[in-house]
Amino acid sequence: MRPSLVPLLFGASAAASRLYAASYAGTVTTLSLAQSQGKAELSTIAQSTDCGVNPSWLMLDEAHRVLYCLDEAVDATNGTLTSFAVNSNGSLARITQLETMAGPVQSHFYLAPGLPNRKFFAVAHYEGSAVTSYSIDPISGVFNRSQTFTYHLDGPGPVPDRQDASHCHGVVVDPTGQFVLVPDLGADLVRIFRVNPYTGLLEPQEPLVATPGSGPRHGVFWTPKGSAPGQTKDVIFYLTSELSNHLTGYRVTYPTNRTIAFSEFYTSNSYGGAPAPNGSKIAEIAISPENNRVVVSNRGDNTFGTGNDSMGVFSVADASGRFATNVTFGGLFPAYGSFPRQFEMATPSGMIAEALQDSHAVAITGWNGEAGKPGPLVAKKSLVGEVVAVIWDGSA
């Protein structure tokens, strides 16, 4: 998450940074981004096929050097979850592998203050219409399943071909660490769980109801820079909804110590209100390192030519870094490939690592924080298969 490689583009040192990329072809590839003759280049330094048939999501515990991989196992009855020890040469050694519900697609760590020697994570299952939770011994990387929640719809949603069933798609943890949110694309809900602070178990709460047919996918929280969790009134939740291509902003409050509430203040599509191109699907979302922009990726919009999709930018804070209700669309920028299903911005440089699913490639772009613009292209590398996730390793 925190590559220290800022000097990369400025030539000073021989700094290199490491990334991990998941491909549906069954591989997790360790990549090095380094400078060679004044040019940035991505190269493969290791590769593992131990995650499973269709790796879909990666989560790194940087401090403990453990990588967690979700295997969506697209046509199988069950998915799998695997932890890997990350060796200093970039190779991955399997620690624990567990079978799980079908179609795991996103996960997030969380903590329980009463169990300081444990870590936990929750997983969203698209195909399995489920949420599962796990407890981890963070030092060894060994983990156990704790809970499985499955969901059934009474009937299909307004977009029946995509909303035939509950499709849990994302996992987001609120800034206080007390709540886990799961956008459900099929049910038009954001499912909400309270983390039991003594056991780390998830306790279901009333969900946040989204616009019918919108298809909630991923989300991110915003708080003012430097504010301690629970000490600010300005907590905002931004949600991307795949079926409507919308970005929606909610003000978040905590009416009591054990409840969370949402009030919508903004919604617009990821084209600044212009009609979304046929077939386009908003996907990933992140807050810029300057804390004043929301960046999203759009899949299949071909905005910059065939096979050249877009990244969208929104201004979300005023000049003094305070929350602004007047979110403004800042335009579209090239993704340098097709189907940016997921991306991650490095801290503090903002460099964007993109998983280009239909280009079968990883792209790295710069980030101009002042202008709020992704680009230019820094490096691109083709891999085998559909690349669906790529993450930075700041400690390698």
Smaller CB separation from ligand NAG, 2 or 145: 145
Report the alpha-carbon distance of residue 168 to residue 162 in Å, rounded.
12
Q: Is 136 in the site for ligand NAG (CB under 6 A)?
A: yes
Which one, of 106, 189, 172, lies nearest residue 181 by Cα? 172
Closest CB to ligand NAG among 2 and 268? 268
Shortest distance in whole angstroms from residue 354 CB to ligand NAG:
11
Among 70, 101, 122, 390, indicate the residue that binds ligand NAG (CB under 6 A).
Answer: 101
DSSP secondary structure code for residue 379 in this structure: E
Using the contact rule CB under 6 A, the part of the chain among 13-21, 60-68, 208-216, 301-309 near ligand NAG is 301-309
User: How many CA within 13 A on the CB side of residue 223?
Assistant: 15
The reply on whether position 173 binds ligand NAG by CB under 6 A is: no
* Binding flag, residue 358, ligand NAG (CB under 6 A): no
Q: Which stretch binds ligand NAG (CB under 6 A): 24-32, 61-69, 87-95, 233-241?
A: 87-95
User: What is the token pair recorded at 141?
Assistant: 């990387």
Q: Binding segment for ligand NAG among 245-253, 322-330, 350-358, 382-390 (CB under 6 A)? A: 322-330
Q: What does each C-alpha distance from 170 to 7, 103, 318, 341 come to in angstroms? A: 33, 12, 28, 13
3-state SS assignment for residue 140: coil
CA atoms lying within 13 Å on the CB side of residue 247: 29
Q: If phi over 0 gives left and psi between -120 and 50 gives alpha, with beta otherwise, what is residue 301?
A: alpha
Edge-first strand listing for the sheet containing 293-299? 281-287, 293-299, 310-317, 323-334
**Residue 334 binds to ligand NAG (criterion: CB under 6 A):** yes
User: Does the protein bind ligand NAG through residue 280 (CB under 6 A)?
Assistant: no
- Asked if residue 179 binds ligand NAG (CB under 6 A), the reply is no
Footprint of ligand NAG on this chain (CB under 6 A)? 77-78, 87, 89, 91, 99-102, 118, 128, 135-137, 142-144, 197, 257, 278-279, 304-305, 308, 315-316, 318, 324, 326, 328, 334, 336-337
